[in-house]
Amino acid sequence: MRQQAITKRILLQLRRDKRTIALIFFAPLMLLTLMYFLFQQSSDTTATVGYNQSVSAPVVKQLKKAKHVKYVEYHDQQTPKKHIQNADLTGFIKQDGHKLIVTYQNADQSKTAVLKQTIQGVMGKLQAQQLTSALAKQVRANEKIMTTMAQSSQIPAQKKPTETGESAKVKYSSQAKYIYSNGSATFFTTMLPVLMGFIVFFFVFLITGMSLLGERSSGTLERVLATPIKRWEVIAGYIQGYGLFAVVQTLLILSYTIIVLKIEILGALWLVGLTDILIALVALSLGLFVSTFAASEFQMVQFIPLLVLPQIFFAGIVPVENMAGWLQAIAHVMPLYYGANALSAVIAKGATFSDVWVNLSVLFGFFILLTGLNILGLKRYRKV
């Protein structure tokens, strides 16, 4: 009977809390629907590759027959690394005799794999063409010899190997160079910027939201607002306090990534740190804002599948350019989309501040907007 009484009390509480019921039953369906649309999109990956005039016409012809690869020809003398960084290329091809020298950006493992497969396929076709051509020339040479023998009725002296036979021995080869990491780079290496941004975002959001909710539940916030303190001062105090925690957390994650995981960072460390701090500030403001609408810690946690988990899908786990148009529009209202883009550009591509300032500006804009909404949201708890 006592167990039944507890069960009845829980059911009555849930029945009165319509928001909890909605989140329990509809949030999972929403996430499943979102993943359905995300992962049913075409998974074809297109690599953009540059090449210069050193690449011979037969090689270019075979390269352009490959699928899922776009080619751009360059006529200047800039280094492959400069071309790749300036145009965000997957790779750059030069030719030295029968050797193809391929420089890979290697920031996206899927695009690198597409380019590697293409190069291997092209080399195989070139070698096959060369062998076929050599055999055809040898056949014609043999026919000519037989014709000469028939006409002279004499057996000719043994001939030296023809140029055709010598050319058949020439083999195409390739040499790979990498700008980011090396040939043994893993999927984790590619996803590191996304995961780093998400970890910072998730934990700052959770801790700040829970803390403010705890102060509301204990009555601390109400007593603070009963004093002459201004609402913006309250929010500023929270941002400064938790902001300090966010900075320490960012430095810890960055240090662990470099020292323990030994992940290579091509760009400036201070720019990686700045991006992570902006992500943390946005998460801090969002956590404070959401906590004003949650009546309990349980409800606060329920906002995670609605506001936090979808962020990671639009941050680079699934290529945004392969999504449907309406899904790309959703991605552009997700703070982590801009944060992960900036981190990926700095860590894996060596981007500078001038390359990522737009993404950083959008993150700062999210922070200012959410801070303003937090100041307005405190009105509902001020009774004097």
177-233 confidence digits (pLDDT tens): 888 877 666 777 778 888 888 888 988 888 887 777 777 777 776 777 677 778 788
Query: Same structural domain for residues 69 and 162?
Result: yes
Q: What is d(CA 326, CA 45) in angstroms, rounded to the nearest whole number?
A: 20
Task: Choose the final residue of a domain: 178, 205, 239.
Answer: 178
pTM value is 0.76
Q: Please state, rounded to an integer, the average pLDDT across all residues of the chain.
A: 79
- Indicate the range of 35-44, 131-140, 142-151 predicted with least confidence: 35-44
DSSP state of 101: E
Contacts of 11 (CB under 8 A, 6+ apart): none
Q: What is d(CA 289, CA 209) in angstroms, rounded to the nearest whole number?
A: 8
Whether 89 is in a domain gets the answer yes
Contacts of 233 (CB under 8 A, 6+ apart): none
Q: Which is higher by pLDDT, 258 or 38?
A: 258
In the predicted model, is pLDDT for residue 163 greater than 50?
no
Query: Same structural domain for residues 117 and 237?
Result: no
Query: Same structural domain for residues 99 and 214?
Result: no
Whether 196 is in a domain gets the answer yes
Query: Same structural domain for residues 288 and 331?
Result: yes
User: Among all chains, which residue has been given the structure tokens 């890979």?
Assistant: 104
Length of the chain: 384
Q: What is the pLDDT of residue 167?
A: 44
- Indicate the range of 58-62, 141-145, 167-171, 258-262 predicted with least confidence: 167-171
To 5 degrees, how large is the angle CA 126–CA 120–CA 90?
120
Taking only the tens place, the pLDDT of each residue in 273-282 is 899 999 999 9
Whether 10 is in a domain gets the answer no
- Here the tokens at position 128 are 């096959």
Query: Same structural domain for residues 219 and 71?
Result: no
- Here the tokens at position 246 are 């966010």
* Per-residue confidence band for 324, with pLDDT thresholds at 50, 70 and 90: confident
* Per-residue confidence band for 164, with pLDDT thresholds at 50, 70 and 90: very low
Q: What is d(CA 332, CA 280) in angstroms, rounded to the nearest whole number?
A: 18
- CATH, residue 95: 3.40.1710
CA dihedral 204, 210, 211, 216 (to 10 degrees): 150
DSSP state of 301: H
The predicted model gives 112-134 an average pLDDT of 79
Give the number of domains in the chain. 2
Taking only the tens place, the pLDDT of each residue in 48-59 is 888 888 888 888
Q: What is d(CA 311, CA 284) in angstroms, rounded to the nearest whole number?
A: 15
Helix or strand (DSSP H, E) at 69: strand 69-74
Contacts of 107 (CB under 8 A, 6+ apart): 179, 180, 190, 344, 348, 349
CA dihedral 118, 124, 129, 135 (to 10 degrees): 180
Query: Same structural domain for residues 377 and 297?
Result: yes
The predicted model gives 124-150 an average pLDDT of 72
Owning domain of residue 60: 47-178
Contact of 286 with 308, CB cutoff 8 Å:
no
